[in-house]
Structure formats: C-alpha cells, structure tokens
Amino acid sequence: MLSPAVPAAVPSPPSRPLPPGACDTHAHVFGPYDRYPLAEPIEYYPPLGTADAYLAMLDRIGCDRGVLVHASQNGLDCSNMLDALDGGRGRLRGIAVVGTDTRHDELAALALRGVRGLRLTEVRLPDGSALPHAQGFDSLEPLAPSLRELGWHVELWAPCETIVARLPELLAHGIPIAIDHMGIFDVRRGIGDIAFQALLDTVAREPAVWVKVPPQRVSRRFPDYGDVRPFFEALASARPDRLLWGSDYPHVQAAQETPDVGHVLDLLAEWCSDEALLRRILVENPQALYGFDPI
C-alpha cells in the first residue's frame, strides 16, 4: 500500500534578498491528486507541491520567476503544469514532455501557454529498464524541426557518461540544450573524472549548452554539499553565462535529506566569486534561455 502524500517542505528565506528578476529554473508541481492523478504505475506519491504552494514558495524565498519541468510521474498529461502556467500570469515558464507524434500546431499551442522546451530522459531504474513515461534522447529527431521553428530548447536528464556520449549528435540538430542536475556526475571521482572533464570541455566550447547547478542531486554531503563546490567553480570558470539555478521543488525522493531552499541559495551566494556572477545565474541567464522580459 502506498504511503499518502505529505505536503512539500516550507523553506526558510535566504539570509539576504535575491536580485530582482531572480528565477528558479527547475521545479515540479504535484497534486491535488484527486484533480491531477499520477500516471500508472504509481510507485510512490511525491510530496504534495501544488501550483499555489509553489508560488508561495517563490514568494517566501524572494524569487520573482520560476520554470516548471513536467515530471515523469505525470506521464504525458501536462495539464497540471499547464494550469499552473496559466495561473502564474506570466511569472512562470514550462518544460513539457510529449510523444514523438505531437504535431507542430500542438506544440505551438503549448508555446502560447508558456512552454519553452521539452525534457528528454535517459535515467534508468535499478533493473536497467527505462523510467516509465519518460521520452528518451531519440525523441529529439522527429520533433527537432518544430523545436527550431518555435525557438525552443531541450533539457536532458541523464548520467554524465550518457550525456557526453550523445551530445555531439544532439547538438547537430541546432537546438539549445540545458543539462539538468549538473549532469549527474559521480562526485566521488573528483573533478578530474573523464566524464565530467568531457562535459566541462563541451560547456566551454559550445554556447548552445546550458547547465543547471543545484548541488543536492549529486552531493553526498547533506546539507552543505561541500563536495560539489569544486565542480561548480569549474563550471563557473568555464562558462558563467550558461549556468542556471533551480530549487528542485518539491524534492522528490529526498526523504530525510530534503534541502532547505533558502540555505541552498545562501550556499550559491557563498560559492559565487562576486555579485555579478550571482546575478548572471539567477537573473540574466534564465532570462535569456526562457524568454522572460528584461528587468
């Protein structure tokens, strides 16, 4: 029997105000489950993070903008995210998951509601099978012409080795790519790891590649994530104009290591070399990628 969903954790505010136009580029919405049921099979209920709860979380941390990424637990039904975009009144953007048979006019309709890209996933379950309902990297080819016409990008969720192996063919489609969760590198191998160095080299050379830098999914040192700091500093040195920050709200499968978003933002400010870098990551970079109006 599945455990009932619990409300998402309420974060503390960061110790200092965020710059105007700050954006959380990676979050999900779940529930209410009687209105937005999860796709089968349901292995667990994610924390209850409704659209209203997410907007309240943004207000609490002082974030003006947010990006909702459609989660695999919702299958191909994007209605929860789309309704949240409608309710955000221009404050939110969305990243959808769609089937390869989706028509251009259907994608264009999503764009009118605030969608700016698609998520592709190559994360595997412990038995090696694909994550249910996820759309893999091969889904890009049939959708690429529409994405180019709409000016969208794709967001990749996969282990670092998979990403670096497939990036050349994905970049050949001429579509910007954002990499989720810092590329899911193995922090235990250090920044000299071959896969991370390949990713770093590509980020430095390819202006079409963006990286989301929240530390919690790759760190083994909750709650301060100090083992990730050298990786962040390497990415910031290589390409400060292509880094993005995300809360990962409502922290699916975090259990006893649920991050405090305000604390994570304080760490980001500490890790940044100056205020200009912090503003780039929180304001200027997401403004450019997701098409928000300039502040």
Please say whether the beta carbons of 81 and 101 come within 8 A. Answer: no
Return d(Cα 108, Cα 250) in angstroms, integer.
28
Full strand arrangement of the beta sheet holding 23-27? 23-27, 65-69, 92-96, 115-121, 153-157, 177-179, 209-212, 243-244
Tokens 């580029």 label which residue? 25
Would you call 248 a catalytic residue per the annotation? yes
Tell me how far CA of residue 177 lies from CA of 41, 183, 226, in angstroms: 29, 12, 27
Nearest to 99 by CA among 57, 142, 158: 142
Please say whether the beta carbons of 172 and 145 come within 8 A. Answer: no
Please say whether the beta carbons of 110 and 149 come within 8 A. Answer: no
**Which of 52, 86, 248, 274 is an active site residue?**
248
Q: What amino acid is encoded at 245 in this protein?
A: W
What's the full length of the chain, in residues? 295
SS3 96: strand
- Judged on CB neighbours under 10 Å (0-12, 13-18, 19+), 144 is middle
Nearest to 8 by CA among 60, 83, 64: 60
**DSSP string covering 142-202, please?**
HHHHHHHHHT-EEEEES-HHHHHHHHHHHHTT---EEEGGGG---GGG-TT-HHHHHHHHH
- Catalytic site positions: 248
